[in-house]
Amino acid sequence: MTDRARPSYWHGEKAASDRPTGSRGRKLDIFLQLTLNGLAVGCIYGLVALGFVLIYKATELVNFAQGDLLMLGAFVCYMAVVWWGLDYWLSFLIAVLAVAAFGALLDAVLLRRVIGQPQFAVVMLTIGLGAVFRTFASVTWGSEIYTLPTPFGGVTRIAGVTISHQYLSIIVGTLILCSVLYGFFNHTRIGVAMQATSQNQLAAYYMGIPVKRIFSMIWAISAGVATAAGVLLAPVTLIDINMGLAVALKAFAAAVLGGFGSIPGALVGGIVIGLIELYAGATLPDGFKDTAPYIVLLVMLVVRPQGLFGTPGRKKV
Amino acid sequence: MSEPILKVSNLETYYGPIMAIRGVSFEVPTGSIVTILGANGAGKTTVLKTACGVMDPQKGSVTFEGREIQRMDPDKVMRLGISHVPEGREVFPFLSVRENLRMGAYTRKDPDGVAQDLETVFGYFPVLKERADQRAGSLSGGEQQMLAISRALMARPRLMLLDEPSLGLSPKLVKEIFDIVLRINRERGVTILLVEQNANMALQTAEFGYVLEVGRIVMADTCARLLQKEDIKEFYLGIKDEGARGQRRWKKRKTWR
Ligand SMILES: Nc1ncnc2c1ncn2[C@@H]1O[C@H](COP(=O)(O)OP(=O)(O)OP(=O)(O)O)[C@@H](O)[C@H]1O
Ligand SMILES: [Mg+2]
């Protein structure tokens, strides 16, 4: 739906595969390139899925506005670079911090109050919030399609495979982000307390852990990660108010594929969806690119309903 | 006698329209072990939950070290020096034993003291040291109980609330755990409020006991004297006096109210 006016929504590789291919080597090149781009796209899905999972595990809310936080993040970075003329990296940092703070605020003033309400009310609320964010963005920044200037314009050719720095930056960025998060969740006091709160909220209270503040921090992390994904994705899809929608839907599928509730599952799920999407786009007739991930998800849910990383019959303690 | 560390007066707590606690008053003297006995559904857990801030009372007060703490958030109550070992252990299942213990010390700012206390609780329960890097969810029920007690101890509390630590454990393990509870009280000077159905162990460990029935305190005495009472023997220790008849038992129950 959102592909309409956007020029080349990571379709570049489709064009490449349409070219007459002679040798077996050429095919291999294309395959490697698709894999690389699929990995990159999958990383974005994985990061957004990670945001879903973090919030869900801690608060049992499903935040359907996750994709729109990604969009807001990309716009804030765009504003800092293009309107204010700031350095790309500084703008990146500003965007992540600003949207993270916004996420924490959102939790503190709004979402904290709906914990324990029926799930569909919460779903409606977050969907509504997403719409509000898109309206806000179109009023503030306009509803055109914008290009974020980045330092990743070039390409590197290794043995015939063209590696675009845009895609490479997504993969490297995701790796860095995931290592930082891994270290944070496993080796800092607050990180472990976040895990503890997600596992047993009541016991967290008994330990004197400030549960409400922990929830806000988790929202901040999810929003910050979505922003990082948005800024990394911006050179590939360009920025517009609907950029979060398609991403969020596939990221949601990725989270389900990974067994909704598992952080490694969300990342692996994202990468699987990204790869399937690009392979299907290059080899199958038009239209399969967007449906193939869901077909795989459907098969998966029938064969292994708990997801890739879920444990069968798992119950929250 | 010195000022009690915990004083509960005329407490009334509801679950929606259901009145679970109907005007309960009791005191826990500093440095002592006090027990509250009661059958299933008597309201023992509710009393502890109200004391530690998880539930708000409709009426009455909870005073800890001279300070009213009813309606305070549970994390704040904990920071004042009350640790809670909840019914059903409530460990963090996917964290390791060591991480669980570190979470117990979450509010503390003295890493050296925390490391020292970690060794102390490993001394109390050597099995926890063996399993320090194992996920808490994979421990047996008894080991989880040991972990829950140790985790509460890691906060260096002045008052510890214990909710049925004997639940589901073998008699041997119950004995072991109560011995440690006694040591915690003697060696570390932690005041203990112990809620139990296992009246025998509780009365042998504690100094003073209350009996809770359907949300009310029906008896309060030293444990030595409670152990001698016919009603306690009959209903909580399962020792039947030869002369006891159904009629008499009913009458006794009446006199409690
Ligand atoms: N969540 C709840 N909602 C409604 N009523 C409750 C709830 N929890 C407990 N009650 C009621 O409150 C009363 C006291 O319950 P409480 O859990 O305090 O009993 P208890 O003495 O701890 O029992 P046990 O020995 O079985 O743990 C019971 O009648 C129970 O049915
Ligand atoms: Mg109970």
- Chain B hits for A206, Cβ within 8 Å: 52, 74, 78, 83-84, 86, 90, 152
Q: Which phi and psi (to 5°) does residue A164 adopt? A: -80, 135
Which pLDDT belongs to residue A49?
95
Distance from CA of B97 to the nearest CA of A (A): 12
Residue A22 CB burial class (10 angstroms; 0-12, 13-18, ≥19): exposed
Which pLDDT belongs to residue B43?
93
* Residue range B186-229, pLDDT digits in tens: 999 999 999 999 888 999 999 999 999 999 999 999 999 998 88
Say which CATH topology domain A23-299 has.
ABC transporter involved in vitamin B12 uptake, BtuC (1.10.3470)
For ligand 1, is residue B78 a contact (CB within 6 Å)?
A: no
- Tell me if chain A has a CB within 8 Å of the CB of B107: yes
Higher pLDDT, A19 or B93: B93
Question: Mean pLDDT in chain B?
Answer: 89
pTM value is: 0.87
Name every residue whose Cβ is closer than 8 Å to that of residue A195 and which is 6 or more positions away in sequence: A185, B92, B94, B95
User: Cβ of B75 and A200 within 8 Å?
Assistant: no
Chain B interface mutation, best of A189, A207, A209, A263, highest count of B Cβ atoms under 10 Å: A207
Which pLDDT belongs to residue A13?
42
Rounded mean pLDDT of A202-229?
Answer: 95
Which pLDDT belongs to residue A210?
93
Query: Is residue A77 within 8 Å of residue A148, measured between CB atoms?
Result: yes
Query: Is residue A19 within 8 Å of residue A239, measured between CB atoms?
Result: no
Which pLDDT belongs to residue B238?
66
Distance in Å, CA B42 to ligand 1 centroid: 7
For ligand 1, is residue B197 a contact (CB within 6 Å)?
A: yes
Q: At residue B255, does pLDDT exceed 60?
A: no
Helix (H) or strand (E) holding A156: strand A155-158
Rounded mean pLDDT of A101-111?
Answer: 95
- Chain A hits for B136, Cβ within 8 Å: none
The token pair that represents B165 in the structure block: 């630590």
* Residue range A18-63, pLDDT digits in tens: 444 456 677 788 888 889 999 999 999 999 999 999 999 998 888 9
User: Cβ of B99 and A192 within 8 Å?
Assistant: yes
pLDDT confidence tier of residue A117, bands split at 50, 70 and 90: confident
Interface residues from chain A to B (CB-CB < 8 Å): 189, 192-193, 195-196, 199-200, 202-211, 317
> Cα separation of A291 and B163, whole Å?
54
Rounded mean pLDDT of A221-228?
Answer: 97
Question: Mean pLDDT in chain A?
Answer: 87
pLDDT confidence tier of residue B110, bands split at 50, 70 and 90: very high
Q: What percent of chain B has pLDDT over 70?
A: 91
Rounded mean pLDDT of A106-122?
Answer: 87
Query: Is residue A63 within 8 Å of residue A126, measured between CB atoms?
Result: yes
- From A205, which residue of chain B is nearest by alpha-carbon distance? B75
Query: Is residue B8 within 8 Å of residue B182, measured between CB atoms?
Result: no
Higher pLDDT, B168 or A275: A275
Which pLDDT belongs to residue A290?
81
Which pLDDT belongs to residue B240?
59
Rounded mean pLDDT of A170-192?
Answer: 95
For chain A, give every domain's residue range. 23-299
Q: At residue B185, does pLDDT exceed 90?
A: yes
pLDDT confidence tier of residue A8, bands split at 50, 70 and 90: very low
Which pLDDT belongs to residue B64?
96
Q: Is the dihedral of CA A21, A24, A28, A31 positive or negative?
A: positive
pLDDT confidence tier of residue B142, bands split at 50, 70 and 90: very high
Rounded mean pLDDT of A260-289?
Answer: 88
Comparing CB atoms, the residue among B54, B94, B106 nearest residue A207 is B106
Rounded to two decimals, the ipTM of the complex is 0.87
Query: Is residue A16 within 8 Å of residue A30, measured between CB atoms?
Result: yes
Rounded mean pLDDT of A286-311?
Answer: 80
- Residue ranges and CATH numbers for the domains of chain B are 4-91+146-226 (3.40.50.300)
* Residue range A65-82, pLDDT digits in tens: 999 999 999 999 999 999
Instruction: Please tell me the least confidently modeled range out of A208-222, B130-144, B176-190, B243-257.
Output: B243-257
